[in-house]
Structure 1
Amino acid sequence: MSPIAARLERLPFSRFHFKLLIMGGLGFMFEAIDAAIIAFILPVVRTKWHLTSFETGLLGSSTYVGFLVGALFAGLLGDRFGRRVVMMWALTFFCVLTFVNAFVNDWHTFALLRAIAGIGMGAEGAIIAPFLVEFVSNRYRGAFTGALAGFFSFGFVAAALIGYFVIPLNPEGWRIALVIVSLPVIVLLWWRRSLHESPRWLETRGRHEEAAAVVTDIERQIERSGVTLPPVVPVAGDATLHEYSGSFFGNLKLLWKPPLAKTTLMTWCLWLSVTFCSYAFFVWIPGLLVQHGMTITKSFSVSIAIYLAQIPGYYSSAYFCEKLGRKTTIVTYMGLACASGIWLAFAGSDLTIVLASIAMSFSMNGVNAGEYAYTPEVFPTHLRATGMGTASAFGRIGAICSPMLVGYVYPIWGFAGVFGMTTVILLVGALAVLILGVSTSGKTLEQITADEYSLADDLPGASLKTAK
């Protein structure tokens, strides 16, 4: 069993963990701002550059091409070289490219730079949860990760406020918006210099002294606040996975070997369905409201109310992740999202569309909080970043396809076609979690690995640690 895990599991929630929550959460917030601001830029540049519906959808999808590449390689690099270094460089990359994108003059260059900047933000978003969850006790891990993902909601609200107050100011307001999105990232980068590398990851690399030094520093920070730490209690779990050193792409192959293959399939289905439907909805809803007859200004103001509904969606889900468990919470909120999608499909009046959109926003982001809490838990430490990154990357296929599909489907079948499609895809994701999902509530990360993948040293655990 791991002495590092035992020392981390005894730690109460403290100022140290709160700082982690804010540092990681702000990264999610900037990802959400970047993802959402395009919804408010699209109606403006569509007119400015005389774009067709398909070209507009292609422009909306460009960021998510970068997100896919960034998320995939963030996981592989994070398990190979460490979580912290990937997170720092990813955020730097995004900041620079987004700033440059504010000064382009044609949609082709704009789409290209959005895709390249998306590599940085995709990597950032994929590495945060598997990195920070490794510092947290199982007693509050689900709520912590759900609350961490809740910062997405603040990003969407901030994007809606920028879209409402900044973009309509003048024809170049969209450029100002991109500058506003990029510059505050510098402050977060400076603050993150003090972050430790994950001690659990260090231990899997055989760097035991460094791992112990990190935990000792954390313990000292907590004790300086007047907290007396309880004695170290041995943590049940599999120690056979320590000192693992797989090859760069060997980790990717391991995800599709039994017994992990079932979990990998489940997470990929979950992320594809949720990401497809989230971006089909949030990227297009301001534009769909305009095409339904609202002015741009009114659609942007309504979007603020829709995005505000994300906040209770995320944080109610974070609460239920601990009370009901991750699987139950995810499936419940996906059911609510399906009901909201059906409501939107048959909505006729502006008021009905707005109310159904608020319900969709609440429930979809409840699902998002659940998946961010659940996904890092179901993979062993030496594959955690790869598992999270590949699931996120596969989900980005949905983000790439959905804006273009909505641009194609809406002129033909309207709201009914768009939201009927999202309802079916959400249902598939919910069934994947119900049938293939594993139980994680109330278990340490090591216990989950032992229970699901290491029942005996010469069976699953061995198969997970032999590929090089």
Structure 2
Amino acid sequence: MKPNALDDAPLSGFHKRLAIYAAGGPFLDGYILSGIGVALVALSPELGVSSFMEGMLGAGALIGMLFGGAISGFLTDRFGRQVMYTLDLGLISVFSVLQFFVTEAWMLLVLRILLGAVVAADYPMASSLLTEFTPRRYRGPLLSMLVCMFFVGAAASYFVGDALVSSGPNGWRWFLLSSAIPALILLVLRLGTPESPRWLLSRGRKSDAQAVLFKVYGSGVSVSDIVVEGSGTTRARDLLRGGYLGRMAFVVIFYTCSNIPVFAIYAFGPKILAALGLGEANANVGSAVLSLLFLVGVVAALCVINRSGRRRMVIWGSLIAGLALLLMGVFPEAPTWILVAAFSTFAIFNGGPQVLTWVYPNELFPTEVRGTAVGLITAFTRVGSAVGVFLVPLALDHLGIGPTMLLAAAVLLVGCLASIRWAPETGGLGLDQASSIAPGIIPADRPGADEQSTRIR
């Protein structure tokens, strides 16, 4: 094999299984996050939920992700990707079941925060593990596939939720409990997943890394074939200074701007569609269709990411999606077909920025701090997303649907401007190259360029 054995290995059944197991986390994220919008329709009258508490419940999982992402990323780099790879799924199952028994809105809010924390914990573990095993040719598409599963989970939550919530007085309780089922299935599937050999080498565990390589690739690969980014020199504190601070800033800005409209629409999709006059009775089904359109967008991005390049995709996707929301904001009472076309355009073209919210964080940081970086980015971006989701019902009540859509458009266009200025191109690079602070990766006049850290790691 070539010197960088993992980057240039052929795609195997192991890689495909690992991608499927890793995709379970985003599926649960989409299912759990989107489900609250469906459940609120029935639980709000029963529990006497105010607009303020609706916003808190919608943002609860995102608030939990703030804490879960920050802590779990560090633990992932300190103790390994595989250690808590299954434990978090058990916790998701427990918290999902407990939602069935709530009698007060504050009880549900606590559980939503806890659910968000454990869902966020899966991000750095699963994505780092997949990134560090996947060959460079397939890294972008497989990481993009994780985003696809978020939208599959979101669409599933609307279909399942619509059926369960309307089934009886406790329908919303059964629906919130239902996320325990895929979590338990995924827990069983993940048992026995090996630790990342890149991480093992970064911790000096050469013999353990060799054992994993032999198990996955056979006797033809040794630890000497692997280029380890950072060579043990990068620490968590480096993420908050120099070139890596610039990369953190860029990813957080574009990630937050891309996610705020998506999370807001998922948390309050039925309410937003009803406000646009697209049919309150069919709002849940309409939200599910919107999820499928998001899925079309990310699948399309997955198929072309290696050809289009990361930078071009994030810029044009943010721009066109923002303009679509701008159209809805300026003409909220436009004919239905125009609103549907605008919503479809937004959903499809935001697919590019969405897939890059998983690709960029995993490519731009070396093995020693990859989990920490992904965790911190997840935490930081959820602050903005949580604020955005919290403000949605208040904006709809006090400003109306038009200004609310204009604010969402402005957020996406800020992400576009940040990408024009700072987005790097990492397509086709090995992890050692993509995660290095080098002028060839991020131009010297952009965040990430550090004249004192230009060596290839």
Deviations along 1:285-313, whole A, 9 cap, x unmatched? 21123345566541112112111112211
Alignment partner, residue 406 of structure 1: 392
The answer to whether the Cα contact below 8 Å between 1:274 and 1:395 also exists between their aligned partners in 2 is: no
Distance 1:347 1:336 in 2: 18
Deviations along 1:145-177, whole A, 9 cap, x unmatched? 112221112101101111222211112111111
Give the letter aligned to residue 332 of structure 2.
A
The answer to whether the Cα contact below 8 Å between 1:330 and 1:371 also exists between their aligned partners in 2 is: no
Distance 1:258 1:454 in 2: 17
Alignment partner, residue 290 of structure 1: 274
TM-fit CA distance, 1:389: 1.1
Alignment partner, residue 347 of structure 1: 332
Alignment partner, residue 143 of structure 1: 141
The answer to whether the Cα contact below 8 Å between 1:270 and 1:433 also exists between their aligned partners in 2 is: yes
Distance 1:379 1:104 in 2: 41
Distance 2:88 2:338 in 1: 41
Alignment partner, residue 317 of structure 1: 301
Which of 441, 452, 460 is the equivalent residue of 2:453? 460
Q: 2:246 matched to 1:257?
A: no
Unaligned runs of 5+ in 2: 442-450
Alignment partner, residue 426 of structure 2: 440
Which of 309, 333, 337 is the equivalent residue of 2:321? 337
Which of 285, 290, 307 is the equivalent residue of 1:301? 285
TM-fit CA distance, 1:333: 1.2
Alignment partner, residue 157 of structure 2: 159
The answer to whether the Cα contact below 8 Å between 1:273 and 1:426 also exists between their aligned partners in 2 is: yes
What fraction of aligned residue pairs are identical, expressed as a percent? 24
Equivalent runs, 1:175-324 vs 2, <5 Å: 175-220=173-218, 241-244=230-233, 246=235, 251=236, 253-292=237-276, 296-324=280-308
Alignment partner, residue 397 of structure 1: 383
Distance 1:5 1:383 in 2: 23
Q: Which moved more, 1:338-347 or 1:359-368?
A: 359-368
The answer to whether the Cα contact below 8 Å between 2:214 and 2:221 also exists between their aligned partners in 1 is: no
Alignment partner, residue 226 of structure 1: none
Q: Would the alpha carbon gap of residues 4 and 61 (structure 1) be closer, same or farther in structure 2, given more than 3 Å must change?
A: farther
Distance 1:142 1:261 in 2: 23
Deviations along 1:230-275, whole A, 9 cap, x unmatched? 999967x6x68324585xxxx1x21121121111110111222122
Scaled by the length of structure 1, the TM-score of the pair is 0.89
Distance 1:319 1:233 in 2: 33
Alignment partner, residue 30 of structure 2: 32
Give the letter aligned to residue 137 of structure 2.
R
Distance 2:72 2:258 in 1: 20
Q: Would the alpha carbon gap of residues 105 and 232 (structure 1) be closer, same or farther in structure 2, given more than 3 Å must change?
A: closer
Q: Would the alpha carbon gap of residues 173 and 130 (structure 1) be closer, same or farther in structure 2, given more than 3 Å must change?
A: same
Give the letter aligned to residue 340 of structure 1.
A
Distance 1:240 1:334 in 2: 30
SS at match of 1:241: coil
Deviations along 1:394-438, whole A, 9 cap, x unmatched? 110122111221122112321221111111111222222222232
Q: Which moved more, 1:301-310 or 1:340-349?
A: 340-349
Deviations along 1:31-66, whole A, 9 cap, x unmatched? 110111011011212222232322211111111111
Distance 2:265 2:201 in 1: 42
Runs of 4+ in structure 1 over 4 Å off: 229-235, 291-296
Q: 2:383 matched to 1:383?
A: no
Q: Would the alpha carbon gap of residues 342 and 128 (structure 1) be closer, same or farther in structure 2, given more than 3 Å must change?
A: same
Alignment partner, residue 418 of structure 1: 404
Distance 2:261 2:162 in 1: 24
Scaled by the length of structure 2, the TM-score of the pair is 0.91
The answer to whether the Cα contact below 8 Å between 1:206 and 1:244 also exists between their aligned partners in 2 is: no
TM-fit CA distance, 1:127: 2.9
Deviations along 1:208-243, whole A, 9 cap, x unmatched? 1111111111113xx9xxxxx8999967x6x68324
The answer to whether the Cα contact below 8 Å between 1:276 and 1:397 also exists between their aligned partners in 2 is: no
Give the letter aligned to residue 364 of structure 2.
V
Deviations along 1:125-151, whole A, 9 cap, x unmatched? 343222211101112211111122211
The answer to whether the Cα contact below 8 Å between 2:124 and 2:372 also exists between their aligned partners in 1 is: no
Distance 1:438 1:342 in 2: 27
Distance 2:105 2:332 in 1: 33
SS at match of 2:179: helix
Which of 86, 91, 94 is the equivalent residue of 1:93? 91
SS at match of 1:184: helix
Q: Would the alpha carbon gap of residues 295 and 409 (structure 1) be closer, same or farther in structure 2, given more than 3 Å must change?
A: same
Distance 1:151 1:411 in 2: 32
Q: 2:370 matched to 1:372?
A: no
Q: Would the alpha carbon gap of residues 361 and 67 (structure 1) be closer, same or farther in structure 2, given more than 3 Å must change?
A: same
Distance 1:124 1:319 in 2: 25
Give the letter aligned to residue 87 of structure 1.
Y
Deviations along 1:45-88, whole A, 9 cap, x unmatched? 22222323222111111111111111111211111111112332
TM-fit CA distance, 1:15: 0.9
SS at match of 2:242: coil
Give the letter aligned to residue 406 of structure 2.
G
TM-fit CA distance, 1:461: 6.9
Q: Would the alpha carbon gap of residues 335 and 390 (structure 1) be closer, same or farther in structure 2, given more than 3 Å must change?
A: same
SS at match of 1:144: helix
Unaligned runs of 5+ in 1: 224-228
Distance 2:233 2:440 in 1: 14
Distance 2:431 2:278 in 1: 49
TM-fit CA distance, 1:353: 3.2
Distance 1:32 1:26 in 2: 10
Distance 2:315 2:211 in 1: 40
SS at match of 1:84: coil
Give the letter aligned to residue 384 of structure 1.
R
Number of corresponding residues: 448
The answer to whether the Cα contact below 8 Å between 1:205 and 1:245 also exists between their aligned partners in 2 is: no
The answer to whether the Cα contact below 8 Å between 1:65 and 1:400 also exists between their aligned partners in 2 is: yes
Give the letter aligned to residue 101 of structure 1.
Q
TM-fit CA distance, 1:16: 0.9
Alignment partner, residue 55 of structure 1: 53
The answer to whether the Cα contact below 8 Å between 1:99 and 1:183 also exists between their aligned partners in 2 is: no
- What CA RMSD, in Å, does the superposition of the two structures yield over aligned residues? 2.8
Give the letter aligned to residue 163 of structure 1.
G
Give the letter aligned to residue 155 of structure 2.
V
SS at match of 2:101: coil
